[in-house]
Structure 1
């Protein structure tokens, strides 16, 4: 999913569906595991907030054949790719998740790998939860790796003397997302029954600078949006060197990337 509500900021910062889908399998697995804990049997209305290029949104219609499914995203590039997946029961809309409120009863609200782009998103979750009808479900997944080397090294570089004047304010923050207990409190306070957990995936990546390739389409994107082509190349080279030291290739040429994710599912009792 994409950073719903985050301006693209120019070509370097635009969402590129091809780059994002390079790791489609790895990114789809948390979505499947999130939805496996949603017990809705026959919802009529399902909304996917921060739907990205739409392939996972379409899977919601396949799971619930009687539901009307809507995907919302702020990226025109991603929605252009999603348009090919739309059919009678699935539609995609351009919009900012910060502004979204259900126009009527929504039985299932899903947001996968999008809310970490939104400051203050726990309040947003509480607002969505408050609008759920009895028996409604809210399911959210966010990356929980903001203290991992991928993000810590990027933040350090963004705040270094050479780059701080251009990139310090877009450096990833360690407190971008809550710990699992924090999301459990958000759901409970909104009157939902919480089901919250975390998982660390160990991705086996291949190719040259594979960790850089992973982050280029996500956390690195808003940083490069602040730089011209020459500066972006210099910044990327420095970041790539740091990543190679933190995530060295194994003897077989693969690279291991531990990636933590936090899941929060809540339902309003019938």
Structure 2
């Protein structure tokens, strides 16, 4: 899994924070829950949740050491946390410890999604629940699938021999079946067709630079900007306008 720069992510994560904030607005807690935030990134949203847990606790986990380092340095924890742990979503170092799991815009970066959902079920207490938000399959190419097309182009293909797709975009039926097979029941699910206008090609390129780490980590430093430029150019016909991102998002509440 890619080791994303937490500092770079913080600079360009307006989109992720905006869509996660919508889910947080619908997050109902009584303030005493123990919550696990999977794919906590730079810790911004984890800290937001901690403020709503006067008698509870929250732990953030991320597979990226640089993300966790940024989260740790965000500021001192309150009595509710957060505490941050570097961990793989497929192999969480907890057992039956949490009333709730949340994950915002992270699990589509775990191609072995079934393993991650099995891990979610394993850390939930009896009657626990999970709120999962992630990119899902849609009617148009995604920015990630476009990156795979660019990687297969003659200019870049030699650097991606044996490269495995680093993401998954399940459709709602597939996600429901995966959850059910992992012991989780879908209580509700919504699929939204989203768009985000970065305003300029430069801003979109900056966002793509951070988000394409799984690809550019395979390239020499001197080639990475050119790969991102090719990605931005290849994606523009998908939306018809420079700087515009469109994606499908699924938001599911799962119960143990």
Q: TM-score by structure 2 length?
A: 0.84
1:87: Cα distance to partner? 0.8
User: How big is each residue's C-alpha offset from its partner over 1:210-238, in whole Å with a ceiling of 9 and x where there is no partner?
Assistant: 333222211x1111111112332432333
User: How big is each residue's C-alpha offset from its partner over 1:124-165, in whole Å with a ceiling of 9 and x where there is no partner?
Assistant: 213422552333111111122675252333221211233222
How far apart, CA to CA, are the structure 2 residues paired with 1:104 and 1:156?
Answer: 41
Q: How does 1:98-137 map to 2 (within 5 A)?
A: 98-137=90-129
Q: 1:235 aligns with which of 216, 227, 230?
A: 227
- 1:197 and 2:190 are equivalent in the alignment: yes
The residue aligned with 1:70 is 59
Unaligned runs of 5+ in 1: 1-5, 9-14
How far apart, CA to CA, are the structure 1 residues paired with 2:186 and 2:224?
Answer: 45
C-alpha spacing 1:143/1:133, structure 2 compared with 1 (3 Å)? same
1:98: Cα distance to partner? 1.8
Indicate if the aligned counterparts of 1:58 and 1:86 stay in contact, CA closer than 8 A. no
Pairwise CA RMSD = 2.7
- 1:262 and 2:250 are equivalent in the alignment: yes
Secondary structure in 2 aligned to 1:134? strand
Indicate if the aligned counterparts of 2:137 and 2:170 stay in contact, CA closer than 8 A. no
- 1:216 and 2:205 are equivalent in the alignment: no
- 1:184 and 2:176 are equivalent in the alignment: yes
- 1:226 and 2:233 are equivalent in the alignment: no
Indicate if the aligned counterparts of 1:34 and 1:140 stay in contact, CA closer than 8 A. no
How far apart, CA to CA, are the structure 1 residues paired with 2:203 and 2:110?
Answer: 26
How far apart, CA to CA, are the structure 2 residues paired with 1:225 and 1:39?
Answer: 39
Indicate if the aligned counterparts of 1:54 and 1:85 stay in contact, CA closer than 8 A. no
Indicate if the aligned counterparts of 2:208 and 2:228 stay in contact, CA closer than 8 A. no
The residue aligned with 2:86 is 94
Indicate if the aligned counterparts of 2:92 and 2:119 stay in contact, CA closer than 8 A. no
Indicate if the aligned counterparts of 1:129 and 1:187 stay in contact, CA closer than 8 A. no
Unaligned runs of 5+ in 2: none
Q: Is 124-133 or 158-167 further displaced after alignment?
A: 124-133
What count of residue pairs does the alignment treat as equivalent? 251
User: How big is each residue's C-alpha offset from its partner over 1:226-269, in whole Å with a ceiling of 9 and x where there is no partner?
Assistant: 1112332432333333234545557xxxx43222211121124x
How far apart, CA to CA, are the structure 1 residues paired with 2:196 and 2:151?
Answer: 26
Which one scores higher on RCO, CA 8 angstroms, separation ≥ 6? 1
Indicate if the aligned counterparts of 2:101 and 2:131 stay in contact, CA closer than 8 A. yes
Q: 2:23 aligns with which of 20, 34, 50?
A: 34
Indicate if the aligned counterparts of 2:111 and 2:165 stay in contact, CA closer than 8 A. no
Indicate if the aligned counterparts of 1:199 and 1:262 stay in contact, CA closer than 8 A. yes
1:33: Cα distance to partner? 2.9
Q: Is 228-237 or 134-143 further displaced after alignment?
A: 228-237
- 1:164 and 2:157 are equivalent in the alignment: yes
1:205: Cα distance to partner? 1.2
